[in-house]
Every structure is written in C-alpha cells, then in structure tokens.
Chain A
Amino acid sequence: MTIISRKKKEKIDRLAELAARDDERGVSLWQEAFRRLRRNPAAMVGAVILGLFVIVSVVGPFLVPYAPEAQHWKDEIRVGFLPGVRAENWFGVDHIGRDQFSRMIVGARQTLLVGVVATMIGLAVGSLIGGIAGAAAGLGGRWGRAVDNVLMRFIDMLLAMPSLLLAISIAAILGAGLTTVMIAVGAVSVPVFARLLRGSMIAQSNSDYVLAATSLGVRKPKIALSHVIPNSLAPVIVQATLTLATAIIEAAALSFLGLGNNDAAIPEWGMMLADAQRYIDIAPRLAILPALGIIITALGFTLLGEAMREALDPKLRK
C-alpha cells in the first residue's frame, strides 16, 4: 500500500470517528425497543393507567380517610337502604357500614400484590422448566430430547386442564387464603411460560449464530446462557405483562368464588364484587366500582403488553 493511500485511509477513519462522536455507544436492541415503545400512544395510555394504579396501591393505604374494616356507619343501614355517595363517603357505604372508597384504595394494593406475585411464580417456575427443556431439546442431542419430552408431557398435562378449574382445585387443596390465590393463579400460568420459552429457545438454537458460536468452540452451557436465552426472552416478557392482566381477573374470580382471602381487614376487589352481588338492586355501585377497577387495570396491562410485543418483534421493525 502506498503512503498516500494510507494517509487517505487514516484521514477517512478520523472523519468517521468525528461523525461517530455524538453517540459513542451503539444502540442495543433493548434500547431501540424502548424507543419504539415510547412513541406508541397505546403504550403510553397503558403506562399511565398502570402508573396511577401502582401509585394508588403503594401510597393510597396511608392516605385513606377511614380504616377499611371500621364499620362507622353500621347504624344508618336499613333494610333496602344503604347510604350512597356523599361528602364523607365518596363512594358510599357498603352493606355492613364500611367506607367503600377506603376499601377500594386498600383493595388496589391487594390486587396488585396478587397479580405481581402470581405472575412472578408462573414466570419463575415456567421459565425454569421451559429453559431446561428448551436448552436440552435445542443443544442436548438425543438425551436432551428425552429430557425435553418428559418435561413437556408434564406441561401438556397442566395445559390440558381448564385454567380456572386447575386454580380452583389447587385452592381447594391448599385451603382459602391470599397465598393460595397467588399460588393457584401462578400455577395456571406455568405451562404458558414454559412452552413459550422452550419454543422460542428451540427456534433460536437452530439459528446461524448458534452454529457460529459452536464453530468458535464456545461451550454449550455458555451458548445457552449468553446467546439462546437472551434472544428468547422477548416473547416471555410480553407474556408476563399480559399474564398480569389475566392474573388479576383470575384472582378476582377465585375471591368471588370464596376461595380468596376471607380476612375482612384486608379488602380485595374480587371479594368486594362477591359481597356486592346480594345488594346489586339497591346499591349497584358496590359491584360496579370494583368491576371497573379490575377492568381498567387489566386493560392497562394488556395495552402495555401488546405495545411491548409490537416493539420487541423484529419483523415489525421499521
């Protein structure tokens, strides 16, 4: 190479470096997905709803005007009459004289807790089973496929049962209570996470960059952890957001059926809905308000989840 052309090359390189100075770091796929998410109005609506919900459930219980279990207005209740919306009770009074507004706020925390913990249980157990099955099937050869077969037949068994029936059976075995609801709802989502992560990992295991890593001489466990799993996580994260919505609805359904928390001091939207059904003629708001709460929260999670799916889907990238 002549001196002139080398100088020229260096000059071009320097120029390129100057141009690159604005953003020295490259933009990873996660960062790009987040950018797309921020530009999506549906995602923003979902995020605002969830933001409010989280703030209310974290801060709310400290600011509520009355204790949720205090029956201050027990004496005002008559047959066929419950005190309605008024200055001291913004959402009225429930059937045994408790402030509905305070119960809604405190109930939000329970709803969030159940949703998040149940999803976490499902995500953790499901990802563990799915991750092992996916790695075994994708990279483990003949023995790996045998391991995968055993694990997946177990998951298929869970998947074959209607989810609410499964949750009710688990709740019936463990006895009513808040922990039971979390475990039952979490267990229902285990097969979904497991199958999703496994399928995604198998698809990634057949990709060229896994072959390239093998030909570099990278060990299989390392390939699974540093290539296959990170590239398979996007659908699982999206599913977790969507599962939060169904977990809240399922938890409410279990509470409605009387398998939830029966401690009056800790209100929960599903339980409130169940209690309200007997008074739906004289005070429909008692049923409508918790139902609205459940619907709006579930909608928030669904909006955000769908938007995340779009943002993370490489096929939809512009």
Chain B
Amino acid sequence: MSDSDVLVQVRDLKVHFPIKRGVLFDRTVGHVKAVDGVDLSIPRGKTYGLVGESGCGKSTLGRALLQLTPPTAGEVSFDGVELTTLAPGKLRAMRKRMQMIFQDPMSSLDPRQNVESILTEGLQAHGIGGNREGRRKIISETLDKVGLPRWALSRYPHEFSGGQRQRIGIARALVLGPELIVADEPVSALDVSIQAQVVNLLDDLQDSLGLTYLVIAHDLAVVRHISDTVGVMYLGALVEEAPSDRLYTEPLHPYTRALMSAVPVPDPDVEDRRERILLAGDLPSPANPPAGCRFHTRCPWAQPTRCADERPALREIGGSRVACHFAEQIATGELRPHKVSAEIVRPEGEGEEPGVVSAPSEPGSFV
C-alpha cells in the first residue's frame, strides 16, 4: 500500500480528559485516558470498522480524528495534511472534506431548522453553490442520493421517522461532497428493520461516490457487513486489527475471541456446541488503567509473566495486527483458558467513593 492510497493516518493518538476536584479551586487530580495511543490508517475508498464495548473510547477516537475533541498528543494526517497543528481557519476549510454522521438523528438535528436550512448551512459556511438556485440544485441532488422526497425540504426534523431523520443526517454530511465520513454508531438508534436500509444506503453511497468511512459501532454484524478492515478497541487502545472476514473467522486476541464467541451462529448444531467465553468483571476505570496489558485483569489466558508488567505492542501475525504477548500460543491451543475472578480497579489514591469524572466538554455548573 503506497502512501497516496492512504487517506487518513493516525499516529499514537491520545485524548486525556482532566479529572477536576476541589471546593474553591479546581485541581487536576488525574486524567481519564479515553484514547491512549492509537495507530491506524484508512485507505482511500475503504471502510474501517471500529468495535468495542461502551466506554472504550471509540467515539472519542472518531471525534478526535475530526478535531472535534482536541487530541492531547499524537498526529492525524488527512490526505497528507497534518490536522492537529492546522490553524483554525484552515481546519474549518478542511472540514468540508471530512464529515460526521451521528448516533441519534433527533439530537443531532436542530429542532428549529427545517431540512432546507439544515442542508444549506454547510454550503453557506464554505461558499459552495453561489446563489440560492445553485444551492437548491445541490440540495435536491443530495436528497435524491439519500432517497428523501422533495417535499421534505420545508419540513422540520420532528415530523420525520427515525430512519428518515438519519437520512437527513447523512444528507447533511454528503451535501459538502466529503471524502471521509466518520459514522458514529449510525444505526444503533434505529429499528432493526430500518438498520439494514441505512447500512445499505451507506454501502451504495460508497460505491457511487468513492467515500472513505470510519464506522464506529458495537454491533458486530453491522461492522462485519460494511467494513473492509476492523479494529477492536479495549480501554482506549487497539487490541486487534484485521481484514473483516479474517477477524470474524480467526480472532487472535483473547478479547476479540470473547467478543466473537458472543455472536450466535445461525446453525443449531454449531450453536449447541458453541463455547462462550464469559468475561469477568467490568471495564476497568480509564482513569487508572491496569499496568502492562490492559486486558490482563479480565483475560482468561493471562499468564503470570509479562502480561501484568509489559504493555504489548500491535504486531503483525499472518495479516492481522494483534496486541498480545501470547497470541500464537493461544491460537495453536498451547495455552488453555482459566477462570478469572473479577478484580476492582480504582483510580490511585481513591478512598471508598468513586472519583468524580467530569464529562469532556461540560463546564463546571449550570444554573
């Protein structure tokens, strides 16, 4: 893969949110490491799927990639342009090349704007389409692409169904003619019957417009259907990255194995013999992630050596990239899983009370 084929290159991206505490003055007592060192690259015209349980930092990664949440460290290069150090004006101009689709179409559409004004806003911000007629033409073409009728223009978001609202959200992203679309859980707020429609729409749009996607989801089936490459995230870092089919048939990392073992198989014989790997305990606090391998507190294959004190890097094993010291031994069956009891991990210096973690952009107090 040559450099010109890569649209997005992320290097050692970190997003840390400060934990503030104090009565009179806010002291920073620690950091929530939402994203802690992620490397990935997305080839032009392909789809990169990102999976992981809630709270693993996959949405934050998507937002940091688009510079909607400022990254703490690391580099994001988009078509050769470094975004993290780009001046605000230039970044704003770049935004028309990279767009986002949100999880909840209701909350991501301004309830006081009708569809025409929602779609015009981006065109106006970048001065695309010249006059009103020019913009109308672009908008109606976009409506056709996402399969919305023309009369939708004068309607307001609350007058549409969930699936149609998500189409409006997709139209808003498409109207600027972007190259990259970050879709943050694009279908998880929709009915199952509508999910397929929207996923297929995204697929068709990619074929006809040559779009590059970063699809963030926790639904393994959706990600498998749409992605060329899938990355599995655990506690702010990638644990495995592989071509979609390979990941589903041959998961290498213990966490990926556990995820895949939870997917039911549509064959009663296989389903009966399917062995489920149940993970003990909850996701450890990202404010105080376990030392060594992030997953060793819950890993059924955890070894007394290396796992607890050496953080595994992603390494290439037969076409996949895996962050596990013992991936080969697990794959060959040399190591057998054992029982794990849940271990509660608290941020350092904490008493019995869990720490107060302020959300990323939330300022101190409201009314």
Contacts and interface: CB of A to CB of B under 8 A. Distances in A.
A196 interface: yes
Q: Which of B100, B115, B121, B150 has the most CB of A within 10 A?
A: B121
B68 A216 contact: no
Given A219-B125, A231-B110, A202 B363 contact: yes
Interface in B139-186: 149-151, 154-156, 158-159, 169, 172, 176
Contact of B156 (A28, A202, A203): A28
Given A27-B156, A28-B112, A230-B112, A20 B121 contact: no
Contacts of B63: 211
B126 A212 contact: no
Nearest to B70: A141
Contacts of A202: 363, 366
Given A195-B367, A216-B95, A17 B154 contact: no
B248 interface: no
A208 B111 contact: no
A218 B125 contact: yes
A145 B363 contact: yes
A216 B125 contact: yes
A29 to B, nearest CB: 6
A245 interface: no
B96 interface: yes
A27 B158 CA distance: 9
A313 interface: no
B156 A218 contact: no
B99 A25 contact: no
A74 interface: no
Contact of B367 (A29, A196, A209, A219): A196
B53 to A, nearest CB: 21
A215 B99 contact: yes
Contacts of A209: 107-110
A203 B361 CA distance: 11
A34 B121 CA distance: 27
B344 interface: no
B54 to A, nearest CB: 17
Interface residues of B, number: 41
A7 B331 CA distance: 54
Nearest to A12: B149
A23 B96 CA distance: 34
A169 B68 CA distance: 48
B104 interface: yes
B258 to A, nearest CB: 31
A211 B68 contact: yes
Interface in A111-168: 137-138, 145, 148
Contacts of A227: 110, 113
Given A208-B107, A209-B108, A29 B158 contact: yes
Interface string B68-105: 10000000000000000000000011011011101010
Interface residues of A, number: 42
A29 B151 CA distance: 18
A219 B151 contact: no
Contacts of A226: 121
Given A27-B156, A199-B367, A215 B100 contact: yes
A228 to B, nearest CB: 10
Contacts of A231: 110-112
A216 B172 contact: yes
Nearest to A230: B112
A317 to B, nearest CB: 8
B226 interface: no
B125 A222 contact: yes
Nearest to A222: B125
A182 B222 CA distance: 63
Contact of A217 (B107, B112, B126): B126
Interface in A274-297: none
B125 A217 contact: yes
B122 interface: yes
A40 interface: no
A140 to B, nearest CB: 10
B109 A16 contact: no
B172 A16 contact: no
Contacts of A29: 111-112, 156, 158
Contacts of A200: 367
Contacts of B195: none
A308 to B, nearest CB: 17
Q: What 9 pairs between A and B have smallest CB-CB spacing?
A: A199-B367, A217-B95, A26-B155, A208-B108, A216-B122, A199-B366, A209-B110, A208-B107, A218-B125
Interface of B: 63, 66, 68, 92-93, 95-96, 98-100, 102, 104, 107-115, 121-122, 125-126, 149-151, 154-156, 158-159, 169, 172, 176, 361-363, 366-367
Given A26-B115, A218-B122, A231-B111, 5 more contacts: A26-B155, A211-B108, A215-B68, A217-B95, A218-B125
Interface of A: 13, 16-17, 20, 24-30, 137-138, 145, 148, 195-196, 198-200, 202-203, 205-209, 211-219, 222, 226-227, 230-231, 314
22 contacts: A16-B149, A26-B159, A28-B156, A29-B112, A145-B363, A148-B363, A203-B366, A205-B361, A206-B362, A209-B109, A209-B110, A215-B99, A216-B95, A216-B121, A216-B172, A217-B95, A218-B121, A218-B122, A218-B125, A222-B125, A230-B112, A231-B112
